[in-house]
């Protein structure tokens, strides 16, 4: 029996990287998935790959900063598949890495927090009631080791937003634990994604980032997806309020 048989999941930031890999893995494990991102063409490709492999998926493109979109994703999960059991709020942006705090514009700051943090709040606002109707569920936020165990000065808004997700997660875990909703944060290390490649954008930078990790490499998106699967499935039935590091040892490495 597959780990997510009979489950229904929403995954944001699904057009590439961790979200893309997680959507495919969840579908292989039996979940029906609603995939979300801004880029319709990439979502269509993802749905095609899932369907061809025998899974069930539907795409809805939009902006995670828009509250109406958060509601619409849940409406699609309800209308197409009959409810919601799992949500991976994964959409993210690095923001403006070219300036220090005195030169960071308020609009750039606001956009990064809206994309990374407020979108997760908006997702949870509509996902939780849907999960309650199913008797519980698993709510996951993609945070980061950045802002939790490490700091990079150019990533001011990014680190703040990712740290904020951990605070949001803890509050929701306590508030909804009695109603069988588990809430956790997933903290990846360096991962080979389009977003990650914009930071480690030269061979020298990539080798530096690899060297930061105890494993001396970065993750494939599929590796992070497996940790998301653990949090989504009953394998983690007694895990809530956790900031789960899947970071290749970057948090502990000093060599």
Give the residue numbers marked as catalytic. 158
The answer to whether 143 and 170 have CB atoms below 8 angstroms apart is no
- 130-135 long-range contacts, Cβ below 8 Å, gap at least 24? 130/74, 130/77, 130/78, 130/83, 130/84, 131/84, 131/85, 131/87, 131/181, 132/176, 132/179, 132/181, 133/83, 134/83, 134/84, 134/85, 135/180
Under DSSP, the state recorded for 184 is: E
Under DSSP, the state recorded for 80 is: I
CA-to-CA distance for 134 and 119, rounded, in angstroms?
Answer: 23
Tell me how far CA of residue 60 lies from CA of 101, 132, 179, in angstroms.
Answer: 35, 23, 29
* Environment class of 220 (CB within 10 Å of its CB; exposed 0-12, middle 13-18, buried 19+): middle
Distance linking the first and last C-alpha atoms of the chain: 42
């Amino acid at each position: 029996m597959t780990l997510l048989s009979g489950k229904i999941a929403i995954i944001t930031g699904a057009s590439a990287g961790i979200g893309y890999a997680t959507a495919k893995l969840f579908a292989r494990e039996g979940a029906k998935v609603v995939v979300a991102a801004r880029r319709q063409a990439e979502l269509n490709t993802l749905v095609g790959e899932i369907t061809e492999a025998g899974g069930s998926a539907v795409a809805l493109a939009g902006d995670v900063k828009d509250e109406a979109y958060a509601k619409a994703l849940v409406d699609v999960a309800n209308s197409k598949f009959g409810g919601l059991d799992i949500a991976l709020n994964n959409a993210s942006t690095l923001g403006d890495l070219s300036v220090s705090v005195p030169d960071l514009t308020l609009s750039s700051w606001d956009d990064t927090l809206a994309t990374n943090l407020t979108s997760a709040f908006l997702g949870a606002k509509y996902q939780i009631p849907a999960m309650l109707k199913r008797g519980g569920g698993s709510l996951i936020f993609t945070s980061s080791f950045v802002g939790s165990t490490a700091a990079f000065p150019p990533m001011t808004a990014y680190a703040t937003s990712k740290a904020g997700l951990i605070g949001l997660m803890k509050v929701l875990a306590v508030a909804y634990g009695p109603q069988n909703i588990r809430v956790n944060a997933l903290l990846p290390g360096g991962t080979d994604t389009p977003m990650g490649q914009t930071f480690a954008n030269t061979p020298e930078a990539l080798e530096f980032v690899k060297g930061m990790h105890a494993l001396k490499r970065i993750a494939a998106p599929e590796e992070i997806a497996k940790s998301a699967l653990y949090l989504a499935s009953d394998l983690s039935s007694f895990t809530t309020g956790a900031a789960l590091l899947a970071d290749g040892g970057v948090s502990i490495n000093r060599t």
